[in-house]
Amino acid sequence: MPILDIRNLNVRFATQDGEVSAVNDVSLSVEKGECLGIVGESGSGKSQTFMAAMGLLAANGRANGEILFDGANLVGASEDAFNTVRGNRMSMIFQDPMTSLTPHMKIGRQLAEVLVHHRGASVVEARIQSLAMLKRVQIPEAERRLDMYPHELSGGLRQRVMIAMALLCSPEVIIADEPTTALDVTVQAQILDIIHDVKERLKTAVVLITHDLGVVAGLADRVAVMYAGRIVEVGDVGSIFSDPRHPYTKGLLACTPRLDDARQGIMTTIQGQPPNLQRLPSGCSFHPRCSYAAERCANERPALEIYGQGRARACFKDLKAA
């Protein structure tokens, strides 16, 4: 049984200009110990899917469908129910480490309160365990950092603190929402190494949300590609990269700059812009930007069809391997 099983999830936001459909009929599952990469542009619904799973949607957001965590549905669950899961069995690492730690609390206290709350640990115990966790995520001079405020740490260190915080209660699932986007390239690699280490050694399931295909390629076992709030393609990482079967995935891969490319200077792009979530195009949301689009694509929405082993895609066109 998958540890996290999302079924037919819809997320809507009520705004003054009408309803925004951020996530549409998304079904995803994460197995124990697996790393699932979620790829998509800004506004593709990749973050909101998992914000819903954490019960962190904005006040005007509503989730519909099922989010089964270890068999229990979290959609519509109370804050108290979420609070037994969040930070304990499922935790989240956010994009911006510079603003994601409370500025007026020492690192040690911010870590310790997780253990005090979920494990009933004493303050001393919690401090010892926090220190061990800081060392595990390779924070130098960890003891000294416990008594520092977040602003005294660099971005990379703060992201390590966030990871340590997420790991404190040995969660079954860690959701990493663009964990490296705000960091320097060299620091990015270190953070990804740590996440890799967590996955390998602690057998924690990791959901890696990113727009960076390189990040996914290095870490994920499976990849789901999202566009306009829907999953357009799912598969294991190798086949997605070597044999994309959805025009959007194909387009994304083509956009990745390559050092060994002979055509210097001109970057491939996908024409057009991501659609307005309040006025989604008819039929397949991607058809206005799709070079394979046919008449049918504008009228009918392709369903996510399973084909082959663990692979699915939502497209009428039978794209074959290039």
Binding-site ranges for another protein (CB under 8 A): 54-56, 59, 79-80, 82-88, 91-92, 94, 96, 99-105, 113-114, 117-118, 149, 151, 162, 165
Nearest approach, Cβ of residue 151 and another protein (Å): 5
Between 110 and 285, name the residue whose CB sits nearer to another protein: 110
Cα separation, 238 vs 221, in Å, equals: 8
Between 67 and 240, name the residue whose CB sits nearer to another protein: 67
Residue partners of 28: CB distance under 8 A and separation at least 6 = 4, 5, 6, 36, 38, 49, 224, 231, 234
Between 96 and 212, name the residue whose CB sits nearer to another protein: 96
Between 84 and 242, name the residue whose CB sits nearer to another protein: 84
Cα separation, 101 vs 131, in Å, equals: 17
Nearest approach, Cβ of residue 171 and another protein (Å): 10
Between 82 and 292, name the residue whose CB sits nearer to another protein: 82
Nearest approach, Cβ of residue 104 and another protein (Å): 5
Nearest approach, Cβ of residue 241 and another protein (Å): 31
Cα–chain-centroid distance for residue 74?
18
Cα separation, 120 vs 267, in Å, equals: 54
Between 159 and 249, name the residue whose CB sits nearer to another protein: 159
Nearest approach, Cβ of residue 32 and another protein (Å): 20
Nearest approach, Cβ of residue 54 and another protein (Å): 6
Nearest approach, Cβ of residue 56 and another protein (Å): 6
Cα separation, 74 vs 21, in Å, equals: 20
Residue with tokens 């206005």: 288
Q: Which of 162, 182, 189 is nearest to 174 (CA)?
A: 162
Between 164 and 312, name the residue whose CB sits nearer to another protein: 164
Nearest approach, Cβ of residue 258 and another protein (Å): 35
Residue partners of 149: CB distance under 8 A and separation at least 6 = 103, 104, 105, 106, 107
SS3 label, residue 191: helix
Nearest approach, Cβ of residue 154 and another protein (Å): 15
Q: How far is CA 26 from CA 103, 137, 143, 317, 320, in A?
A: 36, 33, 43, 21, 25
SS3 label, residue 12: strand
State the DSSP code for 37.
Answer: E
Structure tokens at 174: 């860690």
**Element (DSSP H or E) covering residue 81:** helix 79-85
Between 147 and 261, name the residue whose CB sits nearer to another protein: 147
Between 90 and 312, name the residue whose CB sits nearer to another protein: 90
End-to-end, the C-alpha distance of the chain in Å comes to 35
SS3 label, residue 49: helix
